[in-house]
Amino acid sequence: MGRPAVVTGREDRIVNTIVNTLLVLVAVMAVFPLLFVVSASLTPYSEVLRNGGYVVIPSEFTLDAYRQLLDRPEIPRAFGVTVFITVVGTAVNMVLTTLLAYPLSRKDLPGRSVVLFALLFTMMFGAGLIPTYLIVKSTGLLDTIWAMIIPNAIWVFNVLIMKTFFENLPIELIESARIDGAGEFRILLRIVLPLSVPVMLTLGLFYAVGHWNEFFNAIIYIRDQDLMPLQVVVRNLLAQSQSMENVEAAVPTVTVQMAAVVVAAIPMIAIYPFIQRHFQKGVLLGSVKG
Amino acid sequence: MSAAPAPSPPRAVTASAPATHDAAGPPSRWVRLRRSRWWRHRAAYLMLLPGLVWFAIYKYAPMYGVVIAFKDYNLGLGIVGSPWADPWYKYFEQFFSSPYFVPLLRNTFLISIYKIIWGTIPPLLLALLLNECRRTWLRRWVQTLSYMPHFLSWVIVFGITVAFLSQSTGLVNRTLESLGGDPIGFLTSNDWFRSVLVGADAWKDLGWGAIIYLAAMIGIDPQRYEAARVDGASRLQQIWHVTLPGIRTVVILLFVLRLGHILEAGFEQVYIFYNVQVYPVADIIDTWVFRTGLESLNFSLAAAVGLFKAMIGLVLIVVANRLAKRWDGQLW
């Protein structure tokens, strides 16, 4: 794919050098901020004081900030909440999304277009924050962990991606199974799902990232501080000193703040190298048919 | 098991039409039902059921809930029991004539437009660079690294922003001071805050935005480059005359579709980044609705503003989709 590399003269070499240099700069721009945060979290607090702020490369590294951070009871608890909503939430997402996408991928299903329109319409028009809040409240989810799982259990966009994928599976396999007398649930489990591992992985990852980054539903539906997910707790830590810009109040926690950011980011970054291929596939899947 | 409704004549695709000419003849209702296409697909409807119930409760019931925009909503009386607002447009009028109407609209549009511009041009340039890169390993590395920030939460991006821009300890301000300048409160200054929002957004989605442009570039027929080369076109001329025209449709399409979402200035980011000092430049419709509804408990006013936004949003999205479709057909 792409264009054939043609070996030619000086102009080409100059262009190549400029292109490669700029690309390296882009890569540095993407990575340096994160490395800087990690470095800031490992800097001894005394060095931050002496310097008057964060340093790029501290003279020595210490884990003090992480110790202080993990001594706060809210961090391990919030970590647990986030792991729970990521695991259980993604499972709920995938089951409901698959159960919608598979029947909708069957073009002979009576009423299919009506259902599809009902789903698509919610992408264009939403009732808004307040009416949704009142409904979530009346279904009894307020201040429970399920408020971060149920109200966004299905993303229409992901249903459409999965539906498109199912539509492109070889129909003969499904038809012949049906002739052999297999029921729909059996066909879904035994034939369709084994053929759909790539799309399942991609969408599962999209959902999981959404849950790991959970913030929105928590600040709307949760008041109980013990139920707050990691992102909300970290944001509160960051806000604490930012509102009092005076140095004495701010400094005692600045390295702890950075440690909190790293803790919230690390699981994501640790698995990123293994899963990034699937994400890229996902965005292209989505763009094929919106 | 509400999935299999009354039998319908075999040709009626538009469903749900109950059998008005009720059966008196030999095939009983039950037999006709079992013969109908609906019954044949009962397993499929059973599968749809949980999802449809979810949509009914969490997407469509709130659409009924918007009536509180026209009522004097009272928590104790509920959605149905609350009395109607006196002129029905009371809360809309209250919003339109309030001093925050213009600033909210201005902030929403400005932040959104800047984000669209900075979310289009830099990714386009990055895609061009990646497309010109002849070293596969470099291209792959840069791509992988550059779209990683997309998956970081706004809280993490905010943490990074604080590390760089905090007035007391941020790297940028330390550097400014060591050069003899005065520190700038980027996160608390009305002059800087919107730029911080837009800049953070551009950083987060630079690589992610480039993916789709790059895919469009890879789809360009290599023969067109060949032809340009035969005509003596330089690399820059090839970009100008082959690559850019080749992706024009995709660029226009994405731009139009993003314009359809112009009222979405990014609630989560603004909410996480902002503070009281920068409300004059940072408060957008969504953050205002959140505070008015859930903090001041003025549900009807907040719902009215939310409805106002949703209606305009609906029109914009429909128009944008129409336009996108028209261009789509014309250019491909």
Looking at the structure, tell me whether residues B297 and B257 fall in a common domain. yes
The distance between the two most distant Cα atoms of chain A, rounded to a whole number of Å, is 78
- Specify the CATH number for the domain of residue B119: 1.10.3720.10
Name which of A30-44, B162-176, B275-289, B317-331 the model is least confident about. B317-331
Nearest CB among A27, A235, A245 relative to B168 is that of A245
Looking at the structure, tell me whether residues B73 and B149 fall in a common domain. no
As beta bridge partners, residue B84 has B71
Residue B167 — very low, low, confident or very high, per pLDDT cuts 50/70/90? Answer: confident
Q: Which of B58, B126, B307, B319 to mutate to test the interface with A (most CBs of A within 10 A)?
A: B58
**B106-137 pLDDT per residue, tens:** 999 999 999 999 999 999 999 999 999 989 99
Residue B24 — very low, low, confident or very high, per pLDDT cuts 50/70/90? Answer: low
For residue A33, the distance in angstroms to the closest alpha carbon of chain B comes to: 6
**B85-108 pLDDT per residue, tens:** 889 999 999 999 999 999 999 999
* Beta-carbon count within 10 A of A99 CB: 22
CA distance B330 to B332: 6
Name which of A40-54, A259-273, B109-123, B242-256 the model is least confident about. A40-54
Residue B107 tokens, joined: 């902030």
Task: Break chain A into its structural domains and give their ranges.
Answer: 72-290
Tell me which chain A residue has its CA closest to the CA of residue B318: A124
Nearest CB among A19, A96, A135 relative to B50 is that of A96
**A75-100 pLDDT per residue, tens:** 999 999 999 999 999 999 999 999 99
Looking at the structure, tell me whether residues B101 and B114 fall in a common domain. yes
Has residue A17 got a pLDDT over 50? yes
Has residue B199 got a pLDDT over 70? yes
Name which of A43-52, B58-67, B255-264 the model is least confident about. A43-52
Best mean pLDDT range from A174-178, B74-78, B291-295: B291-295
Has residue A181 got a pLDDT over 90? no
Kindly list the distances between the CA atom of residue A211 and the CA atoms of A87, A282, B58, B266, in Å, as whole numbers in the listed order.
Answer: 9, 17, 18, 18
Has residue B44 got a pLDDT over 60? yes
Tell me which chain A residue has its CA closest to the CA of residue B297: A130
Has residue A59 got a pLDDT over 70? yes
Q: Is residue B75 a part of any domain in this protein? A: yes
Has residue B327 got a pLDDT over 90? no
Q: Contact B169/A260, CB-based, under 8 Å? A: no
Chain A residues close to B68, C-beta within 8 Å: 130-131, 134
Contact in structure between A68 and A256 (CB atoms under 8 Å): yes
What residue type is B82 in one-letter code?
A: S
A-B contacts (CB, under 8 Å): 298
Chain A residues close to B310, C-beta within 8 Å: 125-128
- DSSP string across B129-169: HHHH---HHHHHHHHHHHTGGGGS-HHHHHHHHHHHH-TTT
Residue B89 tokens, joined: 């447009």
Looking at the structure, tell me whether residues B196 and B288 fall in a common domain. yes
pLDDT of residue B12: 40
Last residue of one domain, picked from the residues B33, B55, B88:
B88
CA distance A115 to A67: 53
Looking at the structure, tell me whether residues B79 and B112 fall in a common domain. no
Looking at the structure, tell me whether residues B261 and B119 fall in a common domain. yes
Looking at the structure, tell me whether residues B49 and B105 fall in a common domain. no
Looking at the structure, tell me whether residues B231 and B307 fall in a common domain. yes
Q: Is residue B235 a part of any domain in this protein? A: yes
> For B58, phi and psi rounded to 5 degrees?
-95, -10
Q: Is residue B245 a part of any domain in this protein? A: yes
Residue A245 — very low, low, confident or very high, per pLDDT cuts 50/70/90? Answer: very low
Residue B193 tokens, joined: 């805050």
Domain interval for residue B55: 41-88
pTM across the whole model:
0.87
Looking at the structure, tell me whether residues B46 and B152 fall in a common domain. no
Contact in structure between B153 and A212 (CB atoms under 8 Å): yes
Looking at the structure, tell me whether residues B200 and B249 fall in a common domain. yes
B130 interfaces chain A, CB cutoff of 8 Å: yes
CA distance A53 to B162: 11
Length of chain B: 332
**A262-278 pLDDT per residue, tens:** 999 988 888 888 777 77
Name which of A13-17, B13-17, B239-243 the model is least confident about. B13-17
CATH architecture for residues A72-290: Orthogonal Bundle (1.10)
Kindly list the distances between the CA atom of residue A140 and the CA atoms of A136, A145, B155, in Å, as whole numbers in the listed order.
Answer: 7, 11, 28
pLDDT of residue A38: 92
Has residue B5 got a pLDDT over 80? no
Length of chain A: 290
Number of domains in chain B: 2
pLDDT of residue A73: 85
**A111-145 pLDDT per residue, tens:** 999 999 999 999 989 999 999 999 999 999 999 99
B85 interfaces chain A, CB cutoff of 8 Å: no
Mean per-residue pLDDT, B250-274: 92
**Percent of chain A that is helix, strand, coil (3-state, to 5):** 75, 0, 25
Q: Contact A130/B68, CB-based, under 8 Å? A: yes
Looking at the structure, tell me whether residues B58 and B145 fall in a common domain. no
Looking at the structure, tell me whether residues B46 and B143 fall in a common domain. no
Q: Contact B148/A234, CB-based, under 8 Å? A: no
- DSSP string across B22-57: ---SSS-HHHHHHHSHHHHTHHHHHHHHHHHHHHII
Q: Is residue B7 a part of any domain in this protein? A: no
Has residue A283 got a pLDDT over 80? no
